Structure 1
Amino acid sequence: MRAERVESGDPAAIATGLTDRLTDPLGVFAAPGRANLIGEHTDYNAGLCLPIALPHATYAAVARRDDDVLRVESVQQTQPVEVRLSAITPGSVSGWASYVAGVAWALREDGHRLPGMQLVVDGRVPLGSGLSSSAALICSTALAMCAAAGVDVDRRSLVRATMRAESEIAGAPTGGLDQTIALLGEPDHALLIDFRDQQTRQVPWRPADAGLTLLVVDTRATHAHSDGGYGQRRADCEEAAQVLGVPSLREATPDQVESLDDDRLRRRARHVVSEIGRVEDTVAALEADDWSEVGRLFAASHTSMRDDFEISCEELDAVVDTASTHGAVGARMTGGGFGGSAIALVPTDRMAKVCDEIAAVFAARGWAAPGVLPAPASASARQVS
């Protein structure tokens, strides 16, 4: 068994394939998936995160209609979905199309007049990978809908609208990290996001200069934000903050966290507070070009997510342990957890060896072959055609 390399595809060819399915298309828009370098489950705790945008994206082609209907087709789905724009409310659309319908609802809630539309989407971010295929879908369709409506909505307003779409219509209570990096990311940079005041800062991310490559490994283990595990962790964090009498865990100190009587809440809060500190330390290490410290922080983050936040799984632990054993500077799971992907900082000349060893471990345990994604820090959502 060998790991499967998951390519991002040629944007021009993908765009042509989509526009061929529409009459009078207005354009094709793309939004990337993301890999969070560090800062997991800190966004909804007013904390810090440090993601990068991936070259893998979801593409959305759009054409106007002369009625009130939103029709959505996907290259990855067999049946299109139609709904009247005026009929979209929480609970009115289910499944993958709820993400697209949610964008239309959120934009209308913000006062934008939308025409009837036909959209065709092609998702090149692996589903359930923990790399935010949902935000890629939402943000690409948001740009497409704005183009159809003839409105220019600033990116930070779109972040808020797409967050509402995912939480209130699709039923996935995300904290905003995914939408923010999808709409604001830049090539060769990670984005430091402070969710207490919504400020962002571009942080140079060039591991190749140090002879390193960021490897993203999709374990193919099941991952879904709306299955309850993510929501329960969020509820635990909110309860811990309430018990401590602070607005969010961003304001909690390590000593306060250790004073919590409830073991589960104490461990959940310990992860969040320590993870926020690790984000700060990672930025400092990058600015000092200290890649060994970045690797150490990756490893500490994974241990915290595995033991205190309990969102890892056997497949993720296997990737992290195997990569670390065979030369990775550091490795950790990334994303919401319960499956999905892990990242590893690997010397470029050891990439093939690490990939082969991970695949061998998966084969020995009877798991499906993992996917491997090239992961240079890439551009944010944009029009491609």
Structure 2
Amino acid sequence: MNKKLIQQVHHSFKDQFNTEPMLIFSPGRINLIGEHTDYNNGFVFPAAIDKGIVMAIGKSDANYTRAVSLDMNEDVIINLDNLQRIEDNTWKNYVIGVTAEILKAGKKITNYNCVFAGDIPVGSGLSSSAALENSLALGCNELFGLGLSKNELIHISQKAEHNYVGVNCGIMDQFASMFGEENHALFLDCKTLESESIPVRLHDYEIVLVNSNVKHALADSGYNDRYAVCQNIIKLLNKPSLREVSFEDLNVTKSKISEADYNKGLYILQENERVVNCKNALKENNLEKVGEILFQSHNGQSKMYEISCEELDFLVDEAKKDASVIGARMMGGGFGGCTINLVLKSDSEKFKHKISESYRKKFNRACSIYSVKLNDGTRVIK
């Protein structure tokens, strides 16, 4: 955990509000495998990481609530009696949304102040949004003694995103950020919300994220478009979700939908199988097999679900050529963000240098690279 970040947030809160706050840390997450399966009631395999958001929160005597983002150098004043989303695509809607959903759940809160900052690169696909939602949800729960379970809190976070941000996200990001465990990934069934904590023994390897620093404008619309394709398939088949659709069922839709839409449905079914295979490979301590599955997943994301982009495909192709990398794929909603790579520790610096140089040469701009460790979930730190 970033001690400097904790101090910065703590001091800023005390300077502005002259009281001692409660401090929360909420991590970002990676997803080993299982992309776009969550809103289809499928399987995902996320893990919380050692980068996240630190929030200081305390009760306020003022007749308004104030939230301060140190990273954006912005604040928002909120009236608890009139919680309306702001038209712009802004972090403020996450704060407004979580606050509104807590009140909608019939819980009583009064005005509060909060200050937050993070070390998750925004737009990297590491779920800075879920970290922000969860930090505020847990903060309010603890501050006002709401008695909500962590399970209830993640649904408040998810509803905030649906109703105030306008993204039809599944529950994976909020779940992983809230329930993460050090050196483990969470095999999560998005239909039942049952999860199994699986040890991730990396041995001589480490997880390296390469951020393309690309955030295409179509990310949110592309996400919602694919959600609509999946909804259309289940409507045609009269099924509750793609989780209940077999490969045979899907073939029935072939004449009724475009080839591209059929491939998107097929990708979801295959990706669910890959998540299960990945879990079994980790249980068997077979990291090479995990790596192969990651490469297969990227191929499906790029060619079938069409959520990759030139930069992400390039990064995965370069990783594939490198003998020190046993697996790589794009990670997150798509159209930009990060690749996740399993890299031999002894060759890690060499890999980082090589991929940075080749990316700069190809696209005439820099990628960002960071190693991450698997960490515990959202918690009070003071």
TM-score bracket, normalised by the shorter chain, equals over 0.9
Q: Distance in 1 between matches of 2:4 and 2:201?
A: 23
Find the counterpart in structure 2 of residue 229 from structure 1: 222
1:16–1:70 Cα change, 3 Å: closer
| Matched letter for residue 10 of structure 2 | T
Bigger CA drift: 198-207 or 8-17? 8-17
Is this contact kept in 1: 2:292–2:326, CA < 8 A?
Answer: yes
| Matched letter for residue 357 of structure 1 | K
Give the counterpart of 1:110 among 105, 108, 118.
105
Give the counterpart of 1:148 among 139, 143, 146.
143
Is the aligned partner of 1:252 residue 2:249?
no
Bigger CA drift: 125-134 or 64-73? 64-73
Is the aligned partner of 1:345 residue 2:338?
no
| 1:292 Cα deviation after fit | 1.2
| 1:44 Cα deviation after fit | 0.5
| Matched letter for residue 366 of structure 1 | F
Deviations along 1:233-266, one digit per CA (max 9) or x if unpaired, are: 1111111111222211111112332342321221
Is the aligned partner of 1:272 residue 2:268?
yes
| 1:86 Cα deviation after fit | 1.5
Over aligned residues, Cα RMSD in angstroms?
Answer: 1.8
SS in 1 for 2:191: coil
Find the counterpart in structure 2 of residue 243 from structure 1: 236
Is the aligned partner of 1:365 residue 2:359?
no
1:155–1:149 Cα change, 3 Å: same
Find the counterpart in structure 2 of residue 283 from structure 1: 279
Deviations along 1:142-162, one digit per CA (max 9) or x if unpaired, are: 122223322232110101111
Q: Distance in 1 between matches of 2:363 and 2:304?
A: 28
Q: Distance in 2 between matches of 1:29 and 1:152?
A: 17
SS in 1 for 2:169: coil
Q: Distance in 1 between matches of 2:92 and 2:84?
A: 13
Q: Distance in 2 between matches of 1:10 and 1:317?
A: 35
Is this contact kept in 2: 1:322–1:354, CA < 8 A?
Answer: no
Is this contact kept in 2: 1:68–1:85, CA < 8 A?
Answer: no
1:226–1:101 Cα change, 3 Å: farther
1:103–1:200 Cα change, 3 Å: same
Is this contact kept in 2: 1:15–1:384, CA < 8 A?
Answer: no
1:31–1:378 Cα change, 3 Å: same
Bigger CA drift: 100-109 or 10-19? 10-19
SS in 1 for 2:240: coil
Deviations along 1:59-118, one digit per CA (max 9) or x if unpaired, are: 111121124422111111233111201111456785110001111011111111111011
Is the aligned partner of 1:28 residue 2:20?
no
Is the aligned partner of 1:98 residue 2:93?
yes
SS in 2 for 1:61: strand
Give the counterpart of 2:50 among 51, 55, 64.
55
Is the aligned partner of 1:46 residue 2:41?
yes
Give the counterpart of 1:83 among 71, 78, 85.
78
| 1:25 Cα deviation after fit | 3.2
Give the counterpart of 1:215 among 208, 232, 241.
208
1:68–1:164 Cα change, 3 Å: farther
1:33–1:286 Cα change, 3 Å: same
Is this contact kept in 2: 1:12–1:384, CA < 8 A?
Answer: no
SS in 2 for 1:311: coil
Find the counterpart in structure 2 of residue 3 from structure 1: none
1:18–1:257 Cα change, 3 Å: farther
Find the counterpart in structure 1 of residue 173 from structure 2: 178
Is this contact kept in 2: 1:115–1:148, CA < 8 A?
Answer: no
Q: Would you say how many aligned residue pairs link Structure 1 and Structure 2?
A: 377
Is the aligned partner of 1:356 residue 2:353?
yes
Identity over aligned pairs, percent: 30
Is this contact kept in 2: 1:362–1:369, CA < 8 A?
Answer: yes
SS in 1 for 2:48: strand
| Matched letter for residue 251 of structure 1 | E
Find the counterpart in structure 2 of residue 384 from structure 1: 381
Scaled by the length of structure 1, the TM-score of the pair is: 0.93
1:15–1:89 Cα change, 3 Å: closer
Bigger CA drift: 198-207 or 88-97? 88-97
Is the aligned partner of 1:318 residue 2:314?
yes
Is this contact kept in 2: 1:74–1:121, CA < 8 A?
Answer: yes
1:248–1:225 Cα change, 3 Å: farther
User: Is there any run of 5+ residues in structure 2 with no aligned partner, and where?
Assistant: none
| 1:226 Cα deviation after fit | 6.8
User: Is there any run of 5+ residues in structure 1 with no aligned partner, and where?
Assistant: 1-6
Is this contact kept in 1: 2:5–2:118, CA < 8 A?
Answer: no
Find the counterpart in structure 2 of residue 336 from structure 1: 333
| Matched letter for residue 272 of structure 1 | I
Is this contact kept in 2: 1:19–1:28, CA < 8 A?
Answer: no
| 1:293 Cα deviation after fit | 0.9
Scaled by the length of structure 2, the TM-score of the pair is: 0.94
Q: Distance in 1 between matches of 2:217 and 2:22?
A: 30
